[in-house]
Structure formats: structure tokens, C-alpha cells
Chain A
């Protein structure tokens, strides 16, 4: 009798282990493999059968700085890296400022039409960004802004705003109303109460919201691909241009991919618990 129950338990344990192993292999392997590839020398990279054990080298990262990704004279990856960083940080900061103000207004000041406005903002969020690429290209072109950082920062900021407002709205609504009322009784203005009392309390929510603006700009290819050509190119654009069939540049490719992944992973772990809320903003409860 005891035997059967124990067998059953052991069987379930084995099943659980196998399931988990399969998930880890499937989910994590491609990423781990690209990181490993970035640490291989040019012989190991293309070795067949593929090598799991090899002497790691940082050559590929060094090459990124000196000769870039094409192996031609296009030059260092430094400029696209700085472009990506600048476009991401500026658009995130702008979007968060605008969204905090708007989110607070909708959550607490509740002007007339605030319900309709929230729905409208949600509707805007449903818009596929790819449909805005063509008209944005034409507009930026006629404004003479092609291949400048402004041409991508502006759409990144605007595209981040709808989700950011929704998220900040939900964080502000969760804060107790008595806090600002107390501040106002103490002689603070409405805006002063928002600035000095509410905003600091919403800081964790702010951080969680910021990561989505950050990811949108840092990972974007759709807008940067047509809007930037040489001076303002970002990392995704450079990476997408590599012809990987030959395999010569796999090491550098892996290095760029790893470089693009690191900041996002760090931010993600920092705000992990708010992510579900953000992902379902507007539909889930």
C-alpha cells in the first residue's frame, strides 16, 4: 500500500522535473546560445557539431567597437549605441512626465468626460504602430527631420503615452485620498499636493511604467528602420542589417544581441511584480 503511494509521488516528481526541464530548454536555450556565441572565436562560432565547451573570448565585443557589425568600413557600434541610449532615455522621460500629469488628472481631478477620455486613450493604444510608419515618414521627410534623433524620439514618446497614462491612472487611484486632502488643508495647492505628496508615493508604479516606455524605444525596429539611415541609426537597425547566412559575423551578432538584452533584463527584474498589471491594462481587472 505504502509502495503505490510512494511510486505515484516519485512519478509525479519526475514528471514535474521533466516538464520544467523542457520549459527551461525551450525558453532559455535560444538566449543562452546567443550569449555563448558572442563569447566564441571566429572558428568555434561556425564549428559543426556546435560547440558547448570552448575557450571564451571578448574579441567580438572589441570588434564591435572597432569595426562594427558589417565587417566593412561602416565603423564602430558606439554611435548606434549612444543613439539608442539617447532616444530611449529622452522619450521615456518625456512620456513619463506627460503621463504622470495626465494620469493624475484622470484619476483624481476627474474632469468632465474623463471616462470617455480614458476609453479614447485605450482605443489609441490599440492602434497598430506599423500603420503610422508611412505617414510619419512622409511628415518627417517634409519637415527635413529624416535621419535625426528627433524623428524617432517624437513617435516613441507619443506611442508610450497611452499605456503609461492607463498605468499611472491605476496607480494613483490606489493611493488613499486622505493624503492630498491633508496636504491641502495644510495650505498646499492642488498641484503642490500632487507634486510633493502623491508623486513620491507613486514612485514604484512610476518605475514599472517607465520600463514599458523604455522597452518600446529600446527595442523598436519599425520606426527606426525607415526614419534613420546613417547618423541616427539605433542598435536594432544595425542588428537587422546583418546578413547572417554566411556565419562569418555570428560572434559580433551575438555580441550586439547580448548588449541589447542586458539593460532590459536588469530593469525587468527590478519591477517584475508590476508587469502583469501593466500587460493587461484596460482589459483585465
Chain B
């Protein structure tokens, strides 16, 4: 009895010692996080890789058939999937470019000191913090072709009413909502960067008689280039995976004119019940995102080292 008690105590002590010294406690505290990541994120990821090699319909689970890379081949030959990949790159490219230009311009403006500056900074946070569903719904009201505010303003200015979510303009409209919601992100981090710039350099340039335009191109822009690259990395990563605003505004239509990869994945899986195709599309999205992001990160690293 006594012996077993002693044994227990030392075992407990050993455990405590292990927890107190070395990496025991460290790994013990990390375990829940790593476990969650492994179970909920990595296992589904691997599972989706497996699914992408099969012809699998969840409504007929027993008819699973191995296809190898067949689904991937189909993605690259099927006109609709190819179109969705092209739309994704187009959407991301145009949105990110506009966000960077507009975001930087607004940041330069807010970097000036004037009354109401703080209020303005709060205002521009608003689109970024609201839900993507809410953003899309707000614009849905504005886009309405009969009673929407946008067409009302255009009519006031003497133009013809537009069908904003029709085949021709749907992509433009979806990009507009994306740019509206995420330009503030660029503004915010560029503004933080601008405020970290050395004041002496800017003052010295003013004394030397450089005008604002030249000062921006020769001093400010090179100095904030790393920050712009950070914004570029983040915005590209997030626009490539866009789903919610497009889903709510157009559902990928009309006539697939706004079909981006995110919507394509969702539609293929849950409307056409083709999990094999949906997961291969997913993996192509992952690979494209990784290549582009890592490319930018390489540029960023070179930029910050030199």
C-alpha cells in the first residue's frame, strides 16, 4: 500500500518535472492548437486530395471510381472550368490593381493633417469590417435596375439606365463591390507605413525644392514599396479565393460571366454533386494561389533585404 503510494507520487513528480523543465510544458501547451489544426484543417485537406482522384457523387457513395488525374485533365479541357480559372485571374488582377492604386491615393490624402482626419480614418474602416454578405446585399439594392440609386444618379446625369448585373456588366459590378470593400485594407497598412517614414528625409526634399509629384515618385514610393508588396500578397491571396460576394450578387451568372473558382467549386460540389471535380478545382486553386503568393513573397524578401 505504502509502496504503491510512493510509486504514484514519484510518477506524478516525474510528470511534473517533465512539465516544468525542458520542452514538456511547451509542447503540452501547444498540443490543443496543433491537434485542432491537424484534425480539422489538414485531414480534410488530405481527404480532398484523395477525393480529387475519384469520380465521387455523395448521393451515390457506393459508385466511387478511381480516375487518377482524370478530373484534373477535365478541368483543363472543360470550357466552363477553364473559363472559371480565367475569370478568377481576371477578377483578382483587376481588383488588386485598383485596390492598390485607390488605397495608396486615399492613404496619401489621409496622411495630410487636417481637421476631421480621425473621423475619416474611422469611416474608411467601415466597409472592411462588415460581412461580405452584407456588403453584397447593400450593393444589390444600389444595383437594382428599376429602383436602384446607381441608375437614378446616372439618369440625373443624363445617361441611360444600366443592367448592372446583366451579362455585360456583371463582372464590372462584382469587381466594384470587391474594390469597395477591400480598398480600406490597403489604405490602412499604407497609411501605417507612411507614418513610419523618416520625417527628416521628407523635409530635406522639400527644402531642396522638390515638388509634391517628384517627391512621391522619387522618395515616398520607393520607401513604401515593401508595404505595397505586403498589401499585394494579401489582397491577391484573398481575391483568388473569392466566393461570398459573387455568390450573393450573381451566383456566378448570368451565363457564367462571373463564374470564379470559388463559386465553381461550390456549384460543382453542391449543385452537380461532383465532389471529384470540385476537389480537383480546389487543388488547382491552392496551387495557383501558392505559386503567385510565394512569387510575391520572394520579391518582398529581396526588397526588404536590399
Report which A residues bind B (CB closer than 8 A). 16, 19-20, 23-24, 26-28, 30-31, 33-34, 37, 46-50, 97-99, 101-102, 104-106, 109-112, 114, 117, 121, 124, 126-139, 141, 154-155, 157-159, 161-162, 165, 189-191, 215, 218-219, 221-222, 225-226, 236, 239-240, 242, 244-245, 247, 250, 253-254, 256-257, 260-261, 264-265, 268-269, 272, 275-276, 279-280, 283-284
Known: A24-B123, A134-B269, A154-B40. A127 touches B45 (CB 8 A): yes
* Interface check B285, CB cutoff 8 A: yes
Q: Which 9 A-B pairs have the closest CB atoms?
A: A158-B40, A128-B241, A111-B26, A219-B131, A109-B26, A102-B33, A131-B282, A135-B44, A111-B23
Of B27, B37, B275, the residue contacting A138 (CB under 8 A) is B275
- A24 touching B265 by the CB < 8 A rule? no
CB-CB under 8 A from A106, the residues of chain B are 30
B175 to chain A, nearest CB (A): 14
- Give B123-156 interface residues, CB cut-off 8 Å to A: 123-127, 129-135, 137-142, 144, 146-149, 152
CB-CB under 8 A from B197, the residues of chain A are none
Residue of B nearest to A164 (CB): B33
- B248 touching A131 by the CB < 8 A rule? no
Report how far A211 CA is from B274 CA in the complex, Å.
36
Residue of B nearest to A154 (CB): B40
Report how far A284 CA is from B286 CA in the complex, Å.
23
16 A–B pairs (Cβ distance < 8 Å), ordered by A: A31-B127, A31-B138, A34-B134, A50-B148, A109-B29, A114-B26, A130-B243, A132-B45, A133-B265, A134-B278, A136-B40, A139-B47, A215-B129, A240-B248, A253-B137, A272-B122
Residue of A nearest to B276 (CB): A134
- B32 touching A139 by the CB < 8 A rule? no
- B142 touching A33 by the CB < 8 A rule? yes
Using A236-B131, A256-B137 as known contacts, list a sample of 17 further A-B pairs with CB atoms less than 8 Å apart, ordered by residue number in A: A30-B180, A37-B141, A50-B152, A98-B33, A105-B25, A124-B37, A131-B283, A133-B269, A138-B51, A158-B39, A219-B131, A242-B137, A261-B131, A272-B122, A279-B189, A279-B234, A280-B234
- A130 touching B282 by the CB < 8 A rule? yes
CB-CB under 8 A from B297, the residues of chain A are 283
Report how far A261 CA is from B125 CA in the complex, Å.
13
Residue of B nearest to A261 (CB): B130
Report how far A279 CA is from B289 CA in the complex, Å.
19
- A130 touching B248 by the CB < 8 A rule? no
- B25 touching A261 by the CB < 8 A rule? no
CB-CB under 8 A from B152, the residues of chain A are 48-50
- A191 touching B25 by the CB < 8 A rule? yes
